[in-house]
Amino acid sequence: MPRRVLLVLPTTTYRAAAFLRAARRLDLEVVVGSEAASSLASLRPHGELVIDLDDPDGAAERAATFAAGTPLDAVVGVDEAAVVVAATIARRLRLRSSPLAAVRATRDKWTQRQLLAAAGVPQPRAQLWPGPARGPLRPDPAIGFPCVVKPRDQAGSRGVIRVDGPAALRRATDRVMAMLAADRGARGCPPPPGPPLVLERFVAGPEVALEGLLDGGRLRTLAIFDKPDPLDGPIFEETLYCTPSRLPRALQRRVIATTRRAVSALGLTEGPVHVELRCPAAGPAVLEVAARTIGGECAQVLRFAGGGSLETLVLRQALGEPDLVTRRARGAVGILMLPIPRAGVLTGVRGLEAARREPGVDGVRITIPLGQRVVPLPEADRYLGFAFAHGPDPAAVEAALRRVRQRVRVRVAPDGLRPETAPAADPKRARPAR
């Protein structure tokens, strides 16, 4: 009897096709759970389940009714907006998953900070921030300036702004609050209880991302990505990811050890994790732990022994298969996330063919159609597109991707709307900008 997996995914995710390819490779039947039936037909799943990603308990009820007639062997949340729903369904159906409370903690930056602090995990000092209308214009002395403003519940770099003084703090909090209000208005949701923002001490130093897979509480490190471009703000627009890391081996071991402490402190035990860390002189500090794979289309550069994809590993782990091979294929790889330069209407992208002909470049893909309104970070919930490259070493990969960035030219026509008052492309979810 074929095994059956429920993929919980937002309708606009980049990741659906990759997970469906992996499921076909494993000879799995796929049930797709998402917000709208009309968006599911093109995926050609074996079953469809329309659920509300803003109502995890309701989604679990619908999944339980579905599973009573069509049993499920695993449930996997695809992208940030799906992980809590997937964990809620897994708990209801008694399927393999991290504890629901642990997954919820990855979606609330303040809860995450509290749990990491209680376990003594190195991280930036942080405080809740209600916004300038109801609070002081200076952070706690232990945080000071420069500091970073973050929404509690957004993904990636959305709404994340560095500020260097009281005036910048007021402007940043006003801007992020306007963005959150626009999201709530588009979704018809009331504001969440409690202060909506977190202030964190700015931590200087190189930034890395660890891609891992938890299996029964054991962390398997799949890749450590360097981020060669400095991420010093005021907007934290990520561009380049390259692996293997060029950090000293001893520092890489400390990154892995700190990540183990962080996922343990949150209580995560199963499935993928994507962890962002800074590496100042004092040692690695955790910026964020996410209970998902790397965002966007970035995962396609990762291949493992035997040709398996990251999505294949995630599905096999969710099914409880033994003897997972997590050794990455040899060679260096990297991703360039093409940024949106300004708010307006996307009218043209030039230089793509020349960029694709660059040595070492495996592909360049624009993921936003021409004629669509775009906004840059910090309001953006997506990138313009992605470029992928391979090479004998990370330096060669980085050089190839920088040549792509020089080749690609983007035309955006002004439309007269302020970024923070314009609705995001998909206000039901904050797509990871990672």
CATH of the domain at 79: 3.40.50.20
Q: Which of 183, 201, 219 lies at the terminal end of a domain, its last residue?
A: 201
User: How do residues 125-173 score in pLDDT, each as one tens digit?
Assistant: 999 988 766 666 789 999 999 999 999 988 878 999 999 999 999 999 9
| CATH code of 155's domain | 3.30.1490
Query: In this structure, are 339 and 405 located in the same domain?
Result: yes
Write out the H or E segment, with its range, that includes residue 400.
helix 394-407
Assigned domain for 180 exists: yes
Give Cβ neighbours of residue 305 (< 8 Å, ≥ 6 apart): 325, 327, 328, 329
Query: In this structure, are 336 and 434 located in the same domain?
Result: yes
pLDDT mean over 403-408: 97
The angle that helices 310-318 and 16-25 make with each other, rounded to 10 degrees, is 70
Assigned domain for 63 exists: yes
Residue 125 dihedral angles phi and psi, to the nearest 5°? -65, 145
pLDDT given at position 13: 79
Q: Which of 201, 233, 248 lies at the terminal end of a domain, its last residue?
A: 201
Assigned domain for 322 exists: no
Assigned domain for 147 exists: yes
Assigned domain for 342 exists: yes
Position of tokens 């390819």? 21
Q: pLDDT category, 296, cuts 50, 70, 90? A: confident
Q: How many CB atoms lie within 10 A of CB 243?
A: 23
Q: Give the range of the structural domain holding residue 43, as residue numbers without chain letter.
A: 4-104
Assigned domain for 265 exists: no
End-to-end CA distance of the chain: 38
3-state DSSP call for residue 113?
helix
User: How do residues 184-239 score in pLDDT, each as one tens digit?
Assistant: 766 666 666 678 899 999 999 999 999 999 999 999 999 999 999 999 999 999 89
Query: In this structure, are 58 and 134 located in the same domain?
Result: no
Query: In this structure, are 99 and 15 located in the same domain?
Result: yes
Q: Nearest-CA neighbor of 429 among 289, 292, 260, 235?
A: 292
3-state DSSP call for residue 60?
helix
Assigned domain for 236 exists: no
Inter-residue contact 376 to 340 (CB < 8 Å): yes
Give the span between the Cα atoms of 261 and 119, in whole angstroms.
8
Assigned domain for 99 exists: yes
Q: How many CB atoms lie within 10 A of CB 65?
A: 11
Number of domains composing the chain? 3
Q: Which of 50, 73, 104 lies at the terminal end of a domain, its last residue?
A: 104
pLDDT given at position 423: 44
Q: How many CB atoms lie within 10 A of CB 37?
A: 12
pTM above 0.85, yes or no: yes
Choice among 25-29, 363-367, 417-421 with the minimum mean pLDDT: 417-421
Which ranges of 150-201 would DSSP assign to H, the alpha helix?
166-187
| CATH code of 433's domain | 3.90.1170.30
Residue 222 dihedral angles phi and psi, to the nearest 5°? -95, -35
